[in-house]
Structure formats: C-alpha cells, structure tokens
Structure 1
Amino acid sequence: METTLVLEKEAVENLLPQKFPFVMVDKMYSFTENSLVSGLKIKDDNIFYDDNFFLEAGLIEHMAQSVALHTGYEFFLKNEKAPTGYIGSIKEIEIKKLPKINDTIQSTVTIIQEFAGITLVDIVTTLNNEEIANGQMKTVLAK
C-alpha cells in the first residue's frame, strides 16, 4: 500500500516529547480525529537495533510514540502545546516478526476510547503490508 507522506522526520520530531536518540517515529502518513498512520525507517544508529534486528522494546516504543504523535498533532492543529503523556498500561502486545536494518515499518493507531486525558488505542504494525505486531495501550496525559 503506497501512502502519502503528511509529515517528515523534522516535523514529526517537533511534535514528540522524545528527542534523539530516543525517537522511534520519523513519518506521519495520515491523521484523523480517531486514527493515525506513522512510520519509522530503522537505521543502524537506532538504540533498539541489535544483531541486525530492531528489538521488541523498539517496536513497543514505536507504537507508544505513534500514539504520542497523534496527541501532539492534535494539539498542534489547535495551536496549543501538547502535554507530556505516559504509557498507562499495555495489553496483549503480540510481536510476530522483528524488522531488520533499513526496513520501514508502519503503525496504524485507532482510538477506541478517549476520556479525561486517558486514551485507549489499538495499534497494528506492518512491514511491507505484513502484520508484524499488534496490541492495545492506554496512555495518560500529565496534568
């Protein structure tokens, strides 16, 4: 599936609280009120890259930062500074395959429920249109 790039690396990094070398999202392909598609090209300077693979922790962090990007972009559109968010809980993350160096992964975040700064999301990560990871996360905005 060929998708249009909405935001590239520098713009994405400005919307995330994380900074290099901890940034695990470098593209935003689409954004709606209830969803987002993000991407990451895995490079050999990634802190979660080891022995030719992007590790499980990197995939989970990529998923969480994809949620943070949705929040950051939402606040950016309202011309407001995004609050810091935290992973409240992770539910049933399934990792089927680890990507390798120079692979570009994509994650689709779907918001299931949002209330009082707590967001429940479903996330599916793909590599070349093959699902490699999925799960649910709850994120909490700092007050």
Structure 2
Amino acid sequence: METMALLEKEMVENLLPQKFPFVMVDAMHSYTETSLVSGLKIQSENIFVENNIFLEAGLIEHMAQSVALHTGYQYFLRNEIAPTGYIGSIKEIEIKKLPQLNDNIQSEVTILQEFAGITLVNIVTKLNNEEIANGQMKTVLAK
C-alpha cells in the first residue's frame, strides 16, 4: 500500500538546497515540529544507482536531505527562506540492506536536540516497513 504524500516531488525539490541530479528525496509523507517522514523512489537516472542497486552514499545523502527537508519546510511554514545546512557529523550509521531500482524507501527523522542552528537527529530508513538503515547526524545551518 502506498501512502499518499503530503508534498509531491516538485514542492519537495523547491524546499531543498540540492538540485537535480543530486536530489535524494521526492516526497514528504508527514511533518511535525520534531519529526518528518520522507520518501524516495529509486530511479535509473539516480546518480547513486549502480547495477540496479542504490549505493550507501545515496542512502546517507537521502537521510541528510530528509533532515534538510524538515528545516526547509519549517522555514516555508513561517514564510521565510531557509538557510543552507551542512552535515556537521554522522554518528553510527548502520546500513543493513541496500534498496534496488524502483524500490520506495521512507525515512523517519526525529529531532533529538536543536540549539543555535545545530540539530541532532535520529534517522530510520525503511523499505516495505523493514528497517534497512539507521543513524544519527548533526546538521549545522550556515549563518
């Protein structure tokens, strides 16, 4: 069963600083002040697809962009332009399985702490409700 996206591809792309071919999120399924569920359909033109497999670097970038989407949407709701963010650090990313071409992955971002433009998040990525990756990241907003 496919869940209806709260935001579709074009809107999501407008909220991300990354542009094609580097966009690794194409849907937002849910949003709260402290969480977000994003989605990505793995397609052949994706730069991180090799031999029909979505590579580790793509998964990590998908996770990071899911965090960026949360920030971008927060600013959008306030009618402000979102600043660019960077990955400050990545802690213990565990990748259990790599998705394949045409798979739909979803990542749940949970904000653990937010202070002075630095956000600590927990991210769980699933494929067909099976956890395939998880980890923690710190993101930093550019001043």
TM-score with structure 1 setting the length: 0.98
Alignment of 1:107 with 2:107, yes or no, is: yes
The residue aligned with 1:38 is 38
Instruction: Confirm whether residue 6 of structure 1 aligns to residue 6 of structure 2.
Output: yes
Amino acid of the residue matched to residue 12 of structure 1? V
Written as runs of structure 1 = structure 2, the 5 A alignment for 1:39-78 is: 39-78=39-78
Distance 1:16 1:82 in 2: 9
**Aligned equivalents of 1:27, 1:88: Cα separation in 2:** 24
- Shift of the alpha carbon at 1:2? 5.1
User: Which residues of structure 2 form unaligned runs of 5+?
Assistant: none
**CA apart distance, 1:92:** 0.1
For residues 74-127 of structure 1, give each alpha carbon's deviation from its aligned partner in whole angstroms, at most 9, with x where no partner exists.
000000000000000000000000000000000000000000000000000000
- Please tell me whether the aligned partners of residues 4 and 30 of structure 1 are also in contact (alpha carbons under 8 angstroms): no
What is the identity, as a one-letter code, of the residue corresponding to 1:54?
A: F
Q: Aligned partners of 1:88, 1:38: CA distance in 2, in Å?
A: 21
* Matched residue SS, 1:11: helix
Partner of 1:82: 82
The residue type equivalent to 1:38 in the other structure is S
- Report deviation, 1:3: 3.1
The alignment-based identity, stated in percent, is 82
For residues 130 and 83 of structure 1, the distance between their equivalents in structure 2, rounded to whole angstroms, comes to 33
Structure 2 counterparts to residues 111-122 of structure 1, below 5 A: 111-122=111-122
Task: Name structure 1 gaps, 5 residues minimum.
Answer: none
CA contact (8 A) 1:42 1:100 kept: yes
RMSD across aligned positions (CA): 0.8
Distance (Å, rounded) in 2 between the aligned partners of 1:44 and 1:4: 23
Runs of 4+, deviation exceeding 4 Å: none
Q: Which residue type is aligned with residue 82 of structure 1?
A: A
TM-score by length of 2: 0.98
In 2, Cα distance between the equivalents of 1:4 and 1:72? 20
